Amino acid sequence: MSEPTTTPSAPASATPDAPGTAATAPPSEDRSALARMFSSTAGRNIGLVIALALLVVVGAVTAGENFMNYDNFLVIARLASVIGVVAVGVTFVITAGGIDLSVGSVLGLSSVVASLGAIQTAADGFWPLMVFVAVAVGVLAGLTNGFIIAYGKVVAFMATLAMLVAARGLAELISQRQTQVVSNDGFLDFFRGDLLGVSWVVWIFVLVAVGGWFLLNRTTFGRRTVAIGGNATAARLAGVNVRRHTVYLYMLAGACAGIAATMLLSRTTAGTSTHGQLYELDAIAAVVVGGTLLVGGRGTIGGTVLGVLLFSTLTNVFTQNNLSTSVQLVAKGVIIVGAVMLQQRFANREGGSPSP
């Protein structure tokens, strides 16, 4: 309480007479500058790039030439592509302060509907119809989620959890729990083709990521998404139709799940209700590790892409070294917890509260 009265009376010449205070000031300034750097989007992405580089070094040391070759890097990219497309859609939802637990089940439902015999027969000679059907199913599921959340005022966690169960059950009913083989040659030939030696599946992921980055960072839609996540009430008072925008966000997440379903169909040549199991958790993990705040108000597509690549590389390193999937899951859990703890720490510093 005495500091406000003593501070104004302290002469400017007191600084040289107090070497202790002069010596301690620069370190605190350095620490705050470092904290500001790593709490920025660029700083977080640099941290992810460093972590990814270290993981590549570990793979090179432990697996040698089996890991450090062009074909293996393409395998990592293809592995990241499907989850990556799903994660881009989830990034928008989480940035707005929501959550979508249903994207994995919606992916499975989209793959089943798109691989129905009637759809494939109708798509003979025009395979994009299969893609359209898969995306349409995803958009319809997202529309249902968004309407229930925005207008039914159901908590996003519960609404999307219900869709997770319902979409998986509907996929089982439609497919009668049987695997449906994809026999459309045009569809398979396109998605198994490549451009400049890189699979079309990877290029689709790149296009979705670039489009997502542009939408989030360079459009009114993206600014409204961030505003809703930061303070939905303030966004509404500023003229944003929060309910309608929320519906759009879940439709976008559903569309991404539908696109990912077509990519998975081309890789497995089969539509089944088991497709996409636990994909929602992998997508959310990549989004959080990438730097998007779970409470909303901040999102980064670049960070999400790096998060997906980080987990895909981790899986590849573990596979190359013949380590069990159980160990992989433990490692993923540690990474996720570490990412959330860092988020909380930097969020506290940005908010001015002392960090532990």
Residue positions counted in the chain: 356
Specify the pLDDT at position 7: 41
Residue 327 vs residue 236, higher pLDDT = 236
> Could you give the CA distance from residue 90 to residue 80 in angstroms, rounded to a whole number?
15
Average pLDDT of the residues in 131-138: 94
Distances in Å between the alpha carbon of 333 and those of 50, 86, 326, 340? 19, 20, 11, 11
- Model pLDDT for residues 189-205, shown as the tens digit of each residue: 888 888 888 889 999 99
Residues 6+ apart with CB under 8 A from 158: none
Residue 147's pLDDT band (boundaries 50, 70, 90)? very high
Asked which of 21-25, 52-56, 90-94, 224-228 is least confident by mean pLDDT, the reply is 21-25
Of 34-48, 50-64, 325-339, the range with the lowest mean pLDDT is 34-48
- Provide the pLDDT for residue 42: 66
Domain 42-350: assigned CATH number: 1.10.3470
pLDDT of residue 29: 47
Rounded Cα gap, residues 326 and 337, in angstroms: 17
Mean pLDDT, rounded, of the chain: 82
Question: Mean pLDDT, to the nearest integer, of 160-166?
Answer: 95
Buried b (16+ CB within 10 A) or exposed e, 6-45: eeeeeeeeeeeeeeeeeeeeeeeeeeeeebeebbeeebbb
In which band, very low, low, confident or very high, does the pLDDT at 254 lie, cut at 50, 70 and 90?
A: very high
Rounded to whole angstroms, the Cα distance separating 39 from 302 reads: 15
What is the model's pTM? Answer: 0.83
For residue range 48-75, what is the model confidence (pLDDT) as tens digits?
888 888 888 888 888 777 878 888 889 8
User: Is the confidence at residue 356, as pLDDT, over 80?
Assistant: no
Element (H, E) at 65: none
Name 181's bridge partners: 270
Q: Which range scores top for mean pLDDT: 2-6, 46-50, 189-193, 256-260? A: 256-260
Domain boundaries, the chain: 42-350
The answer to whether the CB of 178 falls within 8 A of the CB of 171 is no
A 10 A CB-CB count for 241 gives 13
When pLDDT is cut at 50, 70 and 90, the band that residue 269 belongs to is confident
Give the tens place of pLDDT for each residue, 283-302: 998 998 888 888 888 888 99
pLDDT per residue over 307-323, tens digit each? 899 889 888 888 888 87
Structure confidence at residue 12 (pLDDT): 43
Strands 270-271, 180-181: pairing is: antiparallel
Q: Is the pLDDT of residue 219 over 60?
A: yes
Higher pLDDT, residue 103 or 269? 103
Contact (Cβ atoms closer than 8 angstroms) between residue 118 and residue 271: no
Dist. CA 303–CA 38, nearest whole Å: 13
Distance, CA of 258 to CA of 264 (rounded, Å): 10
Closest Cα partner for 187 from 263, 273, 75, 257?
263
Q: What is the pLDDT of residue 21?
A: 41
Pairing status of strand 194-195 against strand 198-199: antiparallel
